[in-house]
Structure 1
């Protein structure tokens, strides 16, 4: 296969051209999809997940104050290396961070909020449960196989805690984090 050599100027022009072309085509596609929706046609949205990129071509960093609880949840799951319930996680937080019982509700709310963000925005954790049961356990997304089932070691730990088999997670619904790790 032949390789093509470009000068820096040619590379710059090609990047500019294809960037403009991409923007133009995306705008046209948005218009077409809008018209299809207005006309009542079926719109199949592509399942390709786009990650946002900064001007320098890197994933953006999360702005604003960072909660300590997101990192805490990830670290506790890795340290225990087993699925955890929200109650266990909150109890660990109270003991490790020496939080008084008066601040239990605030700590609980913060941990639940961070877990929600880790699950719905960053896609780093998931909740798994038994069919027909209310209580769910938190697991790292890395502990799940491609089909949504827990990996064998974690499935055994889940069965030991919950007394049954975990329901598979819909892996197509697991988000990809828009931020760099």
Structure 2
């Protein structure tokens, strides 16, 4: 029986708690993991050896994770790089992919999400959902209240009962916005 080498991963993340959590999770899955706090630490790690996978935070204090993506891709074009960000935008997603990332995920993302992204490195997922911009919690709540109101014939007491909230709470919410 041949022994396979553990996949190698570098995590470039300035949030030490999040980096430690990701590291432990990937180590439990059999990865050999190194962590860099930013571009300078990443350069030191790359000088010491290579990696097959990388997870890069987009915002690294005052530095940009895009610089790290470019460095990683230049070091090894076959490396699978996933960019994580709490500041998702179309322009940064496009730039990350152009610079060599195989995927771009908005935080919060967990180890399952990241591993799935490594698996989709080739792209070509025609079943990817096409949807409108996600609604805010307030908008979803308001739509739910409107649906319940319509279903009860605009009976506030019955709507409040169905929604599991106090009638006065519902009345206050309705005072803030006009019912469609």
Bucket of the pairwise TM-score, normalised by the shorter protein: under 0.3
* TM-score normalised by length of structure 2: 0.21
Q: Which has the higher helix share?
A: 1
TM-score by length of 1: 0.21
Structure with higher strand content: 2
Higher relative contact order (CA 8 A, sep 6+): 1
